[in-house]
């Protein structure tokens, strides 16, 4: 039974999608804890209602990022995870933290990486005249929103789209690809070769 810890900062809809698919599809895994850096993160309520352990490491209590990262790492390690999943976790994590979980730390970002790391991805994609946008699940490296890509979704831009309509369509795909990537990880179906991640069974790593 693989142990998954999920980190959220807010709504936590990707966390919910993972919890639900894990339970409904009977993965040999369990979401053992949901951690947040804000006590008011809505995702915590969902986790509590599901009987999942929760913890808050409030970033405002730490003057230095390294101290926050260390406290977060200690809180995570209490749950002895095989995999740590960033699901809308909106704090930048330092290199030491990233090294500590190297190879077992996943993130989702709402763009076709390496395009548009950071904030306001949909607005920036529209401003750039992109004809397609999407989301990426990737292994985390020390560089923000960067790292070996596990799976991507591609969403066409429609005439009249604004950042909200695009965000909603991309989010719907996030709820498919993130559980898929987590399942592949816990079932040992991912193979890493430098920047390249292969799905061992040859399953498609793009959702169109």
Total count of residues recorded for the chain: 208
- Distant-in-sequence, close-in-space partners of 2: CB < 8 Å, separation ≥ 6: 27, 28, 29, 30, 82, 83, 186
Does residue 93 interact with ligand GAR by CB under 6 A? Answer: no
Residue 120, CA atoms < 13 Å, CB-side half-sphere: 5
Report the nearest approach of ligand GAR to the CB of residue 13 (Å): 3
Question: Is beta strand 190-193 parallel, antiparallel or unpaired with respect to 29-36?
Answer: unpaired
Report the nearest approach of ligand GAR to the CB of residue 200 (Å): 25
Site string for ligand GAR, 153-192 (x = CB under 6 A): ------------------x--x------------------
Report the nearest approach of ligand GAR to the CB of residue 57 (Å): 17
Nearer to ligand GAR, 31 or 171 (CB): 171
Quick one: tokens of 134? Answer: 């999407």
Annotated catalytic residue, options 109, 122, 146, 175: 109
Establish whether 122 is a catalytic residue. no
Rounded CA separation 182/92 (Å): 21
Report the nearest approach of ligand GAR to the CB of residue 168 (Å): 10
Nearer to ligand GAR, 78 or 120 (CB): 120
Q: Are 15 and 47 in contact (CB under 8 A)?
A: yes
SS3 92: coil
The residue from 3, 11, 50, 65 that contacts ligand GAR (CB under 6 A) is: 11
CA 129 to chain centre: 26
DSSP bridge pairs for 33: 5, 53
Binding interface with ligand GAR (CB under 6 A): 8, 10-14, 87-88, 108-110, 135, 145, 171, 174
List active site positions.
109
């Amino acid at each position: 039974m693989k142990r998954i810890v999920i980190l959220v900062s807010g709504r936590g809809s990707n966390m919910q999608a993972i919890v639900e698919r894990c339970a409904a599809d009977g993965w040999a895994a369990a979401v053992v804890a949901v951690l947040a850096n804000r006590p008011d993160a809505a995702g915590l309520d969902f986790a509590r209602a599901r009987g999942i352990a929760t913890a808050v490491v409030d970033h405002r209590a730490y003057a230095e990022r390294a101290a926050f990262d260390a406290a977060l790492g200690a809180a995570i390690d209490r749950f002895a995870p095989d995999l740590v999943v960033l699901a809308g976790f909106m704090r930048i994590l330092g290199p030491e933290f990233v090294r500590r979980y190297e190879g077992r730390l996943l993130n989702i970002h709402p763009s076709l990486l390496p395009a548009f790391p950071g904030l306001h991805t949909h607005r920036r994609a529209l401003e750039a005249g992109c004809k397609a946008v999407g989301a990426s699940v990737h292994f985390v490296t020390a560089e923000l929103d960067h790292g070996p890509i596990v799976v991507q979704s591609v969403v066409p831009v429609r005439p009249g789209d604004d950042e909200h309509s695009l965000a909603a369509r991309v989010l719907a795909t996030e709820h498919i690809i993130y559980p898929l990537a987590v399942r592949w990880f816990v079932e040992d179906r991912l193979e890493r070769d430098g920047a390249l991640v292969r799905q061992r069974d040859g399953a498609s790593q793009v959702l169109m």
